[in-house]
Amino acid sequence: MNALTTQLDEAGNLKHFLTIEGLERSLLIDILDRAEGFLGVAQQAVKKVPLCRGKVIANLFFENSTRTRTTFELAAKRLSADVLNLNISTSATAKGETLLDTLRNLEAMHVDMFVVRHATSGAAHFIAQHAAPHVSVVNAGDGRHSHPTQAMLDMFTIRRHKGDFSALRVAIVGDILHSRVARSQILALNTLGAAEVRVIGPRTLIPADAAEALGVRVFHDLREGVRDVDVVIMLRLQRERMSSALLPSEHEYFQLFGLTEERLATAHAEAIVMHPGPINRGVEMDSQVADGKRSVILEQVSNGIAVRMAVMSMCIGTQNLQAQQAGEQRDAH
């Protein structure tokens, strides 16, 4: 099934959020604009808005990620939704029940949205295709394929610091080959019209056809790759890559591709440094950079809540918003 038709309803509104691929620039801008409006919720005495009141959102995390699950949970609660967190390792699927049986049981409990994280590429699409018509699915990371909300919170962070994308040079550093985050970031940056997207890393961790397939410039030298860029995004290096002959050692990786103040000096003077977290200090970057004035890594975490609120409210909060607006119009008359 086409990614675009899977994600949008008949009216062209967001029904699922599975991948950046196929989505129009205007829809990505809409997500960013809505997230802007949600940023202030964290400063309120009561950190809630009623857009998803009465809705039930289930976090289905088949793969561990405390940071992503927590920000999705906070986002859902700030939208006034009820939240179910399923511990998959002790759930029915671990006892032999099929994934579809688990979904059907949750749907029978009137769940309105599944937030899915899975080690298998395409898992979120599979669930979206088999879910009941009233259920929305948000992909919280599937295999090597996609992590769309991470990409959008990164775009949101970039826009807040840099404004328009059209003049920006962005460098993504690390394991491009296996990174679902990198794939989603590249799609988002190209859709939003970034001037140039670069990928930097060892030859063993960059797809051979990256330039043509991903629409990027490829560099194997960090200093040259970050020269004059406005944004540097460091990827988390999976430690299993070290034991699979793709890289000799963490030490050697840092010597060649670890971000230090010295290497960052070739970037634009006002360049920002990003990382999806958690950071392997002394592998992807040193602490001086991670904690330095150019780092916006903690901002990414805060922004992630607002962006996930925007995505979830667009998928399942529209009916509540329309009802609220209709009520306000009646009261006005």
List the catalytic residues. 67-68, 95, 117, 147
| Calpha distance 268→198 (Å, rounded) | 14
> Distance between terminal CA atoms of the chain?
46
Q: 268, 229 in Cβ contact below 8 A?
A: yes
Alpha helices in the chain (DSSP H): 3-7, 25-38, 66-78, 99-108, 123-130, 148-162, 180-191, 210-214, 222-225, 250-257, 261-264, 287-290, 297-316, 318-332
Q: 20, 151 in Cβ contact below 8 A?
A: yes
| Calpha distance 155→298 (Å, rounded) | 15
Residue 200 burial (C-beta neighbours within 10 Å; 0-12, 13-18, 19+): buried
Q: Assign 304 to helix, strand or coil.
A: helix
Strand partners, 82: 56
| Calpha distance 100→191 (Å, rounded) | 34
State CA 51 to chain mean position distance: 22
* Interior/surface letters 21-35, b for 16+ CB within 10 angstroms, e for the rest: bbbeeebbebbbebb
Query: How many other CB atoms are there within 10 angstroms of residue 286's CB atom?
Result: 18
